[in-house]
Amino acid sequence: MPETIPEATENSNKIDNLTHEQMRARRPNVSGRLMLNKETNIFAGVLAGIADYTGANPKAVRIIFVIATILSGGIAAIGYILLWLLLPAQT
């Protein structure tokens, strides 16, 4: 007997019914490119750029990065350095 799929809740319907423009408005970085943010950076602007791109809180991105660096044994720091070298700066 096939499993029944539960009905969608009202909140999920609201998200599903957003137009493209409304979804894009939720992300502050309208250029759609991941770039270094030299205005709100602490070190190189990589994490501030990721926060701008995703629309997340920069402090939360930094905390997640520190935890990821500790848990990965430093591999996340290598990714940070690579992004620092490869990403263009905002103009």
pLDDT attached to residue 60:
93
Concatenated DSSP letters of 16-62: HT--HHHHHHTSS-TT----B-SSS-SSSSHHHHHHHHHT--HHHHH
- Average predicted confidence (pLDDT) for the chain: 77
Sign of CA dihedral 10, 16, 20, 26: positive
Query: Could you read off the pLDDT of 9-53 as tens digits, one per residue?
Result: 555 445 566 665 655 555 555 557 888 787 887 888 899 889 888
pTM of the model: 0.61
Q: What is the mean pLDDT of residues 57-78?
A: 93
